[in-house]
Amino acid sequence: MQIITTHKNTDFDALASVIAGTMLYPGSVGVVPKSVNTNVAKFLSTHKTAFNIVLPKEIDHAKVRRLIVVDTDQWRRLEHMERLRKRTDLEIILWDHHQNGGDIDADWRCQENVGATVTLLIREMKRREMELNPLFSTVLLIGLYEDTGHLSYPSTKPEDAAAAAYLLENGADLNVASVFLNPPYEEGQRDILFMMMQETEKVVHNNCTIGINILKLKQKVPMLASIVSTYRKIISADAVFIIFVNDEKSCTVIGRSGVNRIDIGGILKRFGGGGHPAAGSATVKTTDYSPRKLKAKIIEALKENRVGGATIADLMSFPVTIVPADTPMSTIRDLMQEKKIRGILVGDEYNLEGIIVLWDLKKLKWEKHWSRPVKAYMARKISTIPPDLQPSQAAQLMVKENIGHLPVVYEGKVIGIVTRTDILTYFYGLLPE
């Protein structure tokens, strides 16, 4: 068994490097410490099942033959790895951008002075001509951007920028990335925030408050999109559109929405841009619309904006596997393997009693436990959703309750189930496997 792990208080560079490692070392398992940074925890609460990662205490240390350490070269920064330190038959591989002269004595190492550790792993992926999907590209980009301050820190090297280019070529999504990155605010950015606050025009439509501004910038300002997100939260608007006048020739509209009733990407698509329901942008030529005209057109588009797009009914899985409460755990295990599912409902379609997920099977330590009924292990508290909700609402519920499966209930009957994977598939436009 080979594992890839990283430092405690895991930041995005560390997480991204672990994930990149699972791709570079086929068959390996990523081990992410329990203590992770707040924004990483937030990311994992919706994304963890998309990656092959586990917690340190889930590892059988005796079976580990190869240890791959990323983003640190010190034993004391690893979590639950003391037992491996004494081993003499262990192969250790190290990827790091710190130059601390740590105490991990690696058999092979790639340790270079670049802005982020993940840059080194991306360079290797590029060399092997590996193809990345948008989800993987995005998480690697978040790691790269966080450690390099969006390629602006003096520690940034050309290699880092080349790695970013590779990720963007592979579909990394900057709208998603900006949600998880906490940008350091600089003076120019604060000024813009202040200007926005002074000039807000609020429009109320369909019970939603929408802020719209036109702003002329004297100079280029990095991270406009995240300033707009912050601004929306500060003025507690349901959505905002900021029209930035670039020069006489063009403006850039950045939109952010905190409610599902306003589809930013859908609205900005009309102006040649795009994005997600929650975030989008468009660059518009002034020969097409003057900034004022553009503002009027956005308001018009808002009024026509229907709650379109996909609903839970479109992305849920069905039929659902439901078993009686006395079903033995061995049957549960077989069903999950056979149907390649991670969650099974317990009860019947009119009366849900519980849910059992793949994770729960880890509680069974002895062979004889497998004959016990599922009701002994299932979770009894279940959240359900109606089929007409939007994917973003289901995602919010999953984050809030930290659950990965939501049974879909219509008129008292279970008609489907939606999982984290379904939500991710929808947001990233990935094809279901």
State in angstroms the smallest separation of the CB of 42 from Mn ion. 19
Task: Please state the separation of Cα 82 from the chain's center in Å.
Answer: 31
13 binds Mn ion (CB under 5 A): yes
CB of 7 or CB of 276, closer to Mn ion: 7
State in angstroms the smallest separation of the CB of 117 from Mn ion. 5
Name the CA dihedral angle for 69, 75, 79, 83, rounded to a multiple of 10 degrees.
Answer: 100
State in angstroms the smallest separation of the CB of 99 from Mn ion. 12
**C-alpha closest to that of 46 among 402, 392, 344:** 402
Residue 258 and residue 278 in contact, taking contact as beta carbons nearer than 8 Å: yes
Distance CA 416, CA 312 (A): 9
State in angstroms the smallest separation of the CB of 147 from Mn ion. 5
Within 10 angstroms of residue 408's Cβ, the number of other Cβ atoms is 25
Buried b (16+ CB within 10 A) or exposed e, 209-219: ebbbbbeebee
Within 10 angstroms of residue 318's Cβ, the number of other Cβ atoms is 12
State in angstroms the smallest separation of the CB of 18 from Mn ion. 11
CB of 147 or CB of 173, closer to Mn ion: 147
146 binds Mn ion (CB under 5 A): no
Which of 44, 71, 315, 417 is close enough to bind Mn ion by CB under 5 A? Answer: 71
State in angstroms the smallest separation of the CB of 156 from Mn ion. 12
* Region from 13-21, 216-224, 320-328, 375-383 binding Mn ion, contact rule CB under 5 A: 13-21
State in angstroms the smallest separation of the CB of 110 from Mn ion. 13
Number of shown-chain residues binding Mn ion (CB under 5 A): 4
**Cβ partners under 8 Å of residue 343, min gap 6:** 355, 356, 357, 358, 404, 405, 417, 419
Distance CA 79, CA 56 (A): 7
* Region from 8-16, 206-214, 337-345, 382-390 binding Mn ion, contact rule CB under 5 A: 8-16
Distance CA 337, CA 354 (A): 20
* Region from 53-61, 145-153, 237-245, 408-416 binding Mn ion, contact rule CB under 5 A: 145-153
Residue 67's identity, in one-letter code, is L
CB of 14 or CB of 389, closer to Mn ion: 14
CA distances from 355 to 272, 386, 402, 423 (A): 45, 17, 14, 19
State in angstroms the smallest separation of the CB of 116 from Mn ion. 5
Interface residues for Mn ion in 96-135 (CB under 5 A)? 117
CB of 155 or CB of 200, closer to Mn ion: 155
147 binds Mn ion (CB under 5 A): yes
Interface residues for Mn ion in 402-421 (CB under 5 A)? none
* Region from 64-72, 296-304, 308-316, 377-385 binding Mn ion, contact rule CB under 5 A: 64-72
CB of 141 or CB of 389, closer to Mn ion: 141
* Region from 7-15, 101-109, 239-247, 306-314 binding Mn ion, contact rule CB under 5 A: 7-15
Interface residues for Mn ion in 266-295 (CB under 5 A)? none
Buried b (16+ CB within 10 A) or exposed e, 108-135: eebbeebbbbbbbbbbebbeeeeebebb
CB of 33 or CB of 343, closer to Mn ion: 33
Bond from prior residue into 319 cis (ω within 30 degrees of 0): yes
**DSSP β-bridge partners for residue 379:** 355
State in angstroms the smallest separation of the CB of 205 from Mn ion. 44
Interface residues for Mn ion in 314-373 (CB under 5 A)? none
State the residues that interact with Mn ion by CB under 5 A: 13, 71, 117, 147
